[in-house]
């Protein structure tokens, strides 16, 4: 059976994306190890070394995903044991744009 590690970035406390991602991967035949929200990069790397997954999936919906996701992938690619691990990051990669004030027109 294929395995996947699912995680968020260190400052992302949102869990619903992780739950949905886990369900989708399980339906696709993966055994999933969900590390939960606010996971430090070192813990993600340690878990990937221990589990040897076929995939690392990262969910992030706060505005820090672009920076922290890049830091995670840089650390992953810098580790000789994990450099070839397929990884995907999904969610919001930048803070939401401010919403313009309503003009009163429909």
One pLDDT digit (tens) per residue for the chain, 106 residues: 999 999 999 998 889 889 999 999 999 999 999 999 999 999 999 999 999 999 999 998 887 778 899 999 999 999 999 999 999 998 865 555 555 655 555 5
User: Nearest to residue 60, comparing CAs of 72, 50, 51, 48?
Assistant: 72
Token digits of residue 14: 């949102």
What is the model's pLDDT at position 94?
A: 57
81 three-state secondary structure: coil
Q: Which residues pair with 2 in a beta bridge?
A: 30
Instruction: Say if CB 66 and CB 14 are below 8 A apart.
Output: no
Query: Rounded to an integer, what distance in angstroms lies between the CA atom of residue 95 and that of residue 33?
Result: 28
Question: Tokens 């997954």 correspond to what residue?
Answer: 53
**Domains in the chain, CATH or no CATH each:** 13-91 (3.40.50.280)
């Amino acid at each position: 059976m294929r395995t996947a590690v699912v995680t968020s970035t260190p400052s992302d406390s949102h869990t619903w994306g992780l739950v949905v991602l886990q369900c989708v991967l399980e339906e696709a035949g993966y055994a999933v190890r969900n590390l939960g929200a606010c996971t430090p990069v070192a813990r993600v790397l340690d878990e990937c070394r221990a589990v040897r997954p076929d995939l690392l999936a990262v969910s992030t919906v706060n505005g820090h995903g672009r920076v922290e996701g890049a830091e995670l992938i840089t650390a992953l690619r810098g580790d000789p044991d994990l450099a070839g691990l397929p990884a995907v990051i999904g969610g919001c990669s930048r803070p939401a744009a401010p919403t313009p004030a309503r003009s009163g027109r429909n």
